[in-house]
Amino acid sequence: MFYRLSVRVTDKFIQYKVISGEDYELYRYGVQNGCILLLNLLSALTISLFCRMPIECCIFLLAFIPLRTFAGGYHAKTAVQCYFYSMLIIIGILLGLRFLRIPVWICAILSGFGCITTLVLAPVEDMNKPLDSIEKSVYRKRSLLILTIEICGLFISRVLHFMQGFHAIAMALFCIGTLVVVGALKNKFLP
């Protein structure tokens, strides 16, 4: 679906001399991924509005996306699977935050799990996106920096009694930790 759209958009960029034809495939790939990201964000926003939880969703995504980008972990086989898994995570997190009264100490345990697994395992590469030694080093440093910032955000939101933020960041850390563990296990036991 997005492949054809990305081809059309990239062709128009070349036609209007916005880009050169030399890097066609790179730009086409970038446009395709941009469309997928936009669909994911719009879908998450729609779900959050339906659940009446846009603040929690935005905070969750602000914590989840940067750390996920560099920590890695489990990746779906196709973009369609990735989309559906992502939306299931968003729905599950928002409904959990809405209907479950999660005590602070449970959030602390869940976020602690996420922090420890990320600290120990990140970055976890995927067979579709292997990392060389330089990339591994850079991704590790970036994931640790982002993790540190998010831990600070977790503590600040708790101190300020901003429980929406506290719960959303804790759940993002837990989700990242889970995806990192699942990705590492997949790499170890599945070809």
pLDDT at 141: 97
pLDDT at 191: 64
Could you tell me the residue ranges of all domains in the chain? 1-50, 53-189
pTM reported for the whole predicted model: 0.89
pLDDT at 24: 84
Q: How far apart are CA 62 and CA 5, in angstroms?
A: 27
How many whole angstroms from its chain centre is CA 177?
A: 11
Q: Which amino acid is at 168?
A: A
**Close Cβ partners of 162 (under 8 Å, ≥ 6 residues apart):** 156
- Say yes or no to pLDDT of 14 above 90: no
pLDDT at 78: 86
Mean pLDDT across 148-153? 97
